[in-house]
Amino acid sequence: MEKKERKILLALAITSACNLKCFYCKDSGENLDNAVGTIEFNDLKSIIKTAYNNGIKNYRITGGEPTTVPYFGKLLENIMELGKDIKIRISTNGYKILDYIDIIEKYKERIEVVISVDSLNRKIGNIEYEKYLSKKVVNITKELLDRRIKVRYNIVITKENINATPELILKALDLGVNIKLLDLIKHDEYFEKNKEESNSFFKNSYQSIDNIKQFLRSITDRYQENFNMLVSTGIPMSGYFKGNQYIQVKDSNRGSTFSEECVNNCPYFDKCQEGMFSQFISNNGILSISNCRNKNLRWNLLDMNDEEKDKSFKEILKLFSNTKIYNNFKV
């Protein structure tokens, strides 16, 4: 029997630059090895063309804050012009998103704007939540929705914001946006602290999403156990629905997908939380598995010709072609 083709996502962390400094982010944002800077546009175009030629049709643009990059609008156009089957998700704090609203509106059937909003207020306890539901974010959201552009809020759940999250969810639903709830992802650079301090912060701040599921059931019309959209790997996500809106829940306690090679050969496997969620391009041109520390599974595309890039994508796609769920992560 022919295997069903997996939906594969390629994330593009085009820069480390950001206008905010959030407590759970590294200075390099989502980029590997604390790499700072912005990838050159021509290098990025070549990489994306190779990815598309290998069947990758779903893209996430992130950073840092991707709207700080001058070529951001050209990048959207370049990706979309590759094919009418392409979809793009923009991960942003909303900083300059309205500067590109005309381009986004042009492709609105295939673009979703994802804005990180973690709190109703700027401060909870001793923690500054720079990505909060400010008047500016509300106005940006309304402008996007007025143009019928799809908007989602991503909310990272921690012990600090868990009590305020139900009200934030209700306000987001009233605005008309979709929502994704995520538990905290473990890494070693919280607050620019050393590994031991970062591990302590994670242990003290991690909050299971189980605590909020009963509330979600009480405010929604129906529930779907598996609700994955652009991607079919990583942590299996569930969905709660209220009319035409959804609340997607990414709960790492459900386990995550890994290839057999990762399970058998990765020295970090017992600590890996997110698993094989997406393919990932860092701002230094490294192709890898998202959040993966295994340096044996990295390809430096900037040092390659077109044929070598093509071979690299085929190698990483092979890893994604036969994955299964493992429940391995322990908080």
* 4 is a domain residue: no
Higher pLDDT, 235 or 107: 107
Structure tokens at 214: 């009963």
Which pLDDT value is given to residue 2?
35
Q: What is the pLDDT of residue 317?
A: 95
Identify the band that residue 267 occupies on the pLDDT scale cut at 50, 70 and 90. confident
**Pairing outcome for strands 238-242 and 245-250:** antiparallel
Main-chain dihedrals φ then ψ at residue 82, nearest 5 degrees: -70, -30
Residue 171, domain extent: 9-326
Of the listed ranges 20-24, 35-39, 62-66, the least confidently predicted one is 20-24
Of residues 293 and 189, the one with the higher pLDDT is: 293
Higher pLDDT, 124 or 72: 72
Is 1 among the domain residues? no
Does 196 score more than 60 pLDDT? yes
CATH number at residue 97: 3.20.20.70
- Where residue 28 falls (left for φ over 0; alpha for ψ -120 to 50; beta otherwise) is alpha
pLDDT band at 202; cut points 50, 70, 90? confident
Residue 195 inside a domain? The answer is yes
Please check whether residue 3 lies inside any domain of the structure. Answer: no
What does the pLDDT look like over 100-123, one tens digit per residue? 999 999 999 999 999 999 999 998
Residue at 256 is within a domain: yes
For residue 17, give the nearest of 72, 58, 99, 60 by alpha carbon.
72
State how many domains the chain has. Answer: 1
CA distance 240 to 220: 6
